[in-house]
Structure 1
Amino acid sequence: MSDSTASPPGRILPTIVFSQFAGTSLWFAGNAVLPELQQVLQLQETGLSLMTSAVQFGFIIGTLCFAFLSLADRVSPRLLFLICALSGALANALVLTVATSVTGVLLLRAITGFLLAGIYPVGMKIAASWYSGKLGKAIGYLVGALVLGTAFPHLLRGIGATLPWQTMLLTVSALAAVGGVLMYLLVPEGPFLSKGAKFDISNMFRVFKVPDFRAAALGYFGHMWELYTLWAFTPFILTYVLKDTPANLISIYSFMVIAAGAVGCIGGGYLSQYWGSGRVAFIQLLFSGLCCFLSVMVFNEPQLLLPFLIFWGVVVAGDSPQFSTLSAKTAPPHLVGTALTVVTSIGFTITIVSIQVTSFLLQILPPQHTFLWLAAGPVFGLLALRRLVVK
């Protein structure tokens, strides 16, 4: 049996999943220590908002630069992952040395976000190089790990963990470094890794000329319009509807809602082997869009809120790995890394717009009516995705 058809060694998928989780934990390290940093830096709420957004903006700039230079297709993905994981770990740890400077902390968090552009999309390319036939399942595990990382700070606050914030930052840095080293040592170049592209400024635009890739990308953009806005405002929704609920329970409930997305990611990955990634993404995006419409009624029913949000949490994130799978499969083989990177960059830019618009609408509309508008994303995504479902 040839290398291209043989089953990958058993260590490959667990190593990729762990390394991806370890590397992307840098993304949310700031979330877990925000109260302490706010106290040390004497930040007001506006300053806190800036610090929370710094990683997001850094990631967007990083993905644009990586896509512009086609780095993910010109450099060995495992080497790029190692360099970015080690550099990101260092930038995260250096926050300890500038903890009295708002500017210094913001800059280091933005640098960390920039380096995550060489971890999150590149980890998906590494998976694509090993799991061509079962890519939906493999990326389902990868994004599931990322979702759990997103939810973890809420659990940490909910159970009242009291680790010193310095220890927490150093632990996350060590974890990211170990993940990068393990990826480099235990995951060789996959049999489906295409020959790298030469530098060409048009690479990041050329991928959108492929109709199937364009359909997958537009579907993903509609999904991102909804995803991070729901995650960002989950604690607000719970607090507003479940009045007088203790803060620690709100945090635990928030963890449950966001972490439920891992079930959708992994379960959708298995279903994609039978139904195909396009159909799984379409069904989950359809259900999450319906949740946007139903929120108008459910937000007036406290007893239904938590199970409703948990279901919404499953489907709102569950289609994400299938969109990445569709993007990887429909992109030109020699530009898979660039394609994943540029699509991710645009998707995260969309999340910032969506979050800011939602924040504005909450000032002029009651919450029961505010989240209805998120349905625009799923509706747009479903229309774009039809091309890949009817085939």
Structure 2
Amino acid sequence: MLPLMALSLQEAAPGRWSALAGLAFAVVLAMAPWFSAVAVLPQLRVVWRLTDAAASGLTLAVQLGFVLGAVLSAALNLADRVSPQRLILTGALIAAGANLGLLWAGGPTLAAGLRALTGAALALVYPPALKAMSAWFRTGRGTALGVMVGALTLGSALPHLVNGLGGANWRSVIFITSALAALGGLIASRVGDGPYRFPTAPFQPSQAWRALTSRGVGLATLGYLGHMWELYAMWAWFSAFFTGVLVNAGVADPGRGPALATFAVVGVGALGCGLGGLLGDRWGRTRLTTLAMGLSGACALALAGLAGAAPGVVLALSLMWGFWIIADSAQFSTIVSEIADPAYVGTALTAQLALGFTLTAGSIALVPALVRAGGWPLAFVVLAVGPLLGTVAMRRLARTPDAARIAGGRG
């Protein structure tokens, strides 16, 4: 009886909710530079006379930079050898500086390099933040990481809000998002270590490969890849899509409408993350991820059929898509934290994210080509393939022995 009582006391770690609030707020701020250039892309097209290829390059550069940073971090086991708070502070400050450099870039060539550096730096923010918060929660970990990914979602949406409220002053958007990132890193550095800290690991570059090729983590990663195929392509190109919707509806000057609509569609995902975390803890993570990907893929297919509908109809359906497209995201990371080698949880999380963001670069680059070939309906149909295949991987994971270690045995 006494061991059970002791475990119960341990599960309710004092200060875990204040730690979650502090770190989540820090991530909201630190991730603000991610979509800063995308949010002001219409202005940059004019100022720098960007071609379509150059504009796509600025969007892809962040994704590819994140991949490079994540691969190097995983290979060096940084997330398991260095304090998460120190990594987050370092990454946030570098991202803030690189993002601020856009003010003096003068054109797409230097800007692409700065965007890649921003992405690489943010690879030191996101995975360590997930690991740091896992150390504060055993029960309710899915909810906690759902809040963390919700923070990432809000951080990604912030530039669209700043742009929507600030009009065409792209320099203000860049300056504000840089300042927010630096502030986020400083706040994260003040969050203490959780009581369920993972052991410090020795340097073993092969651990990233070992984690991804184990059956349970491998299937969770396949599900995550299906989720990521759709997610960032939708986030990156929704503003362009909704601009077209407004123009086709006879709106001569969409103005701030696309930026504010994009903020709403991306930002509503923060609520989806919260609900997804609660359902993942209570229903089981494989069940929740299957539900979320099924609904997300269905929304994409519905939009493919209604792309020419009235803006209000399109926006309502898009908000539903934005809610479910991210609701499952944290659960893939939570699964890894539960079934991976405890000494290399940070490496496993970083490796999973590296693969996912590698895939997003492909889907982001593919969307413009699909739109040229068959319009937005074709793009949405192709994006829907990812979550539909991801559900297959999660259903298989639910039937493996590893399911007994996920969500307290709920799978």
Q: Same fold (TM over 0.5)?
A: yes
Q: Which residue of the other structure, out of 160, 171, 174, is the alignment partner of 1:154? A: 160
Counterpart in 2 of 1:228? 232
Runs of 4+ in 1 over 6 A off after TM superposition: none
Measured in 2, the distance between the counterparts of 1:276 and 1:11 equals: 25
Say if 1:378 and 1:39 are closer, same or farther in 2 by CA, change over 3 A. closer
Q: Offset at 1:65?
A: 0.5
Residue 359 (1) aligns with residue 363 (2): no
Q: Offset at 1:192?
A: 1.7
Normalization by structure 1: what TM-score? 0.91
Say if 1:261 and 1:299 are closer, same or farther in 2 by CA, change over 3 A. same
Q: Offset at 1:103?
A: 3.3
Deviations 1:287-341 (A, max 9, x none): 1122233334322433632211111111111111112211222221111111111
Query: Unaligned stretches of 5+ in structure 1?
Result: none
- 1:60 and 1:348 in contact (8 A); partners too: yes
Residue 17 (1) aligns with residue 24 (2): yes
Counterpart in 1 of 2:179? 174
Counterpart in 2 of 1:60? 67
Amino acid at match of 2:178: S
Q: Offset at 1:32?
A: 4.2
Measured in 2, the distance between the counterparts of 1:164 and 1:231 equals: 19
Say if 1:252 and 1:352 are closer, same or farther in 2 by CA, change over 3 A. same
Counterpart in 2 of 1:281? 289
- 1:300 and 1:368 in contact (8 A); partners too: no
Q: Offset at 1:222?
A: 0.4
Equivalent positions of 1:46-195 (< 5 A) are: 46-96=53-103, 98-100=104-106, 102-161=108-167, 165=171, 167-185=172-190, 187-195=191-199
Equivalent positions of 1:227-266 (< 5 A) are: 227-242=231-246, 243=248, 244-245=250-251, 246-247=253-254, 248-266=256-274
Q: Which residue of the other structure, out of 335, 351, 354, is the alignment partner of 1:345? A: 354
Q: Offset at 1:44?
A: 3.5
Amino acid at match of 1:301: A
Say if 1:364 and 1:251 are closer, same or farther in 2 by CA, change over 3 A. same
Counterpart in 1 of 2:404? none
Counterpart in 1 of 2:316? 307
Amino acid at match of 2:174: L
Measured in 2, the distance between the counterparts of 1:62 and 1:294 equals: 36
Amino acid at match of 2:307: F
Measured in 2, the distance between the counterparts of 1:169 and 1:370 equals: 30
Equivalent positions of 1:201-216 (< 5 A) are: 201-216=205-220
Say if 1:230 and 1:174 are closer, same or farther in 2 by CA, change over 3 A. closer
Alignment identity in percent? 37
Equivalent positions of 1:288-327 (< 5 A) are: 288-302=296-310, 304-327=313-336
Number of residues paired by the alignment? 388
Deviations 1:149-193 (A, max 9, x none): 22233333333446571x5434333322222222222x2222222
Measured in 2, the distance between the counterparts of 1:370 and 1:80 equals: 37
- 1:139 and 1:321 in contact (8 A); partners too: yes
Deviations 1:76-112 (A, max 9, x none): 111111222222223333344x333543332222112
Q: Which residue of the other structure, out of 269, 273, 285, is the alignment partner of 2:277? A: 269
Aligned residue for 2:325, secondary structure, equals: helix
Q: Offset at 1:48?
A: 2.8
Amino acid at match of 2:62: V
Say if 1:142 and 1:370 are closer, same or farther in 2 by CA, change over 3 A. same
Normalization by structure 2: what TM-score? 0.87
Q: Offset at 1:42?
A: 4.3
Query: Unaligned stretches of 5+ in structure 2?
Result: 1-5, 400-410
Counterpart in 1 of 2:380? 371
Amino acid at match of 1:117: A
Amino acid at match of 1:264: G
Say if 1:91 and 1:361 are closer, same or farther in 2 by CA, change over 3 A. closer
Aligned residue for 1:159, secondary structure, equals: helix
Say if 1:235 and 1:41 are closer, same or farther in 2 by CA, change over 3 A. closer
Deviations 1:245-301 (A, max 9, x none): 341223322222222211211121222232122222111111112223333432243
Measured in 2, the distance between the counterparts of 1:184 and 1:152 equals: 22
- 2:212 and 2:351 in contact (8 A); partners too: no
RMSD: 2.3
Q: Offset at 1:70?
A: 0.9
Residue 26 (1) aligns with residue 30 (2): no
Say if 1:115 and 1:341 are closer, same or farther in 2 by CA, change over 3 A. same
